Amino acid sequence: MQFSGGNRKRLRLGGDQRNACYPHSLQFYLEPPSENISLIEFESLAIDRVKLLKTVENLGVSHVKGTEQYQSKLEAEIRRLKFSFRENVENEYERRRRDHISHFILRLAYCQSEDLRRWFIQQEMDLLRFRFSILPKDKIQSFLKDSHLHFEAVSMVL
C-alpha cells in the first residue's frame, strides 16, 4: 500500500473490471490493496473499521449472535459506515473497496501484540459469519467456487 499527499490517484475501472476486483460482498482478503490513497482517507477508513469491529464486539456481548435483533443492528451499523454486506446493491464497488482497504489497515495496526491480534481476528470472524449468513444460497455457491473451496451440499435429514 502506498500513501500520497495531495496528489491522490484513484483507480478508475469500468463496470466489468470493477466487478472483477470484488465479485462478492464477502472477502477472504487474500491480496493486499495496491492503489494509492491519501492519508486522510487512510485515517478515515481505519476509524470506520474500528467503529464497525467495536459494534460487532458490543453486539456480541449484548445480544445472542445470529438473532434477528443482532443482525438488524449490525446491518444498520454496516450500512451507516458504508461497508459492503449485501449482494446486488448498486454502487457496491466503493463499499467493497473500503472494506478491503480498511481490513488491511487494521491488520497492520493490530499485529503489535497477541491480545490485539486475538481481538481483531475474533471480530473479523464474527463479521464474516454475519455476512456469510445473509448471503443468498446461489451466491454462497458462487463465493465458495470463486474462493476455490469445494464442498458438496448435503440435504437436511430429519
Domain ranges for the chain: 2-146
The yes-or-no verdict on residue 40 having pLDDT over 90 is yes
Check residue 69 and give its pLDDT. Answer: 92
Residue 116: Cβ within 10 Å count: 13
If one compares 80 and 143, the residue with the highest pLDDT of the two is 80
pLDDT of residue 81: 85
**Which three-class secondary structure state does DSSP give residue 4?**
strand
Distance from C-alpha of 136 to C-alpha of 147, rounded to nearest angstrom: 16
CA distance 65 to 71: 8
Can you give the pTM of this predicted structure? Answer: 0.75
Q: Pull the grid cell for residue 8.
A: 491522490
Query: Over the stretch 66-79, which tens digit does the pLDDT of each residue have?
Result: 899 999 999 988 88
Mean pLDDT calculated for residue range 6-28: 54
Instruction: Output the pLDDT for position 12.
Output: 46
Helix 68-80 to helix 114-133 angle (10° resolution) is 110
How many Å apart are CA 13 and CA 15, to the nearest integer?
7
- Residue 38 is predicted with a pLDDT of 95
Tens-place pLDDT, residues 80-97: 887 876 655 556 788 888
Q: What is the mean pLDDT of residues 27-37?
A: 83
Q: Which fold has domain 2-146?
A: Transcription Elongation Factor S-II; Chain A (1.20.930)
**How would residue 148 be classed by pLDDT, with cut points 50, 70 and 90?**
low
Q: Indicate if the pLDDT at residue 123 is higher than 90.
A: yes
Q: Which of 111, 72, 79 minimizes the C-alpha distance to 98? A: 79
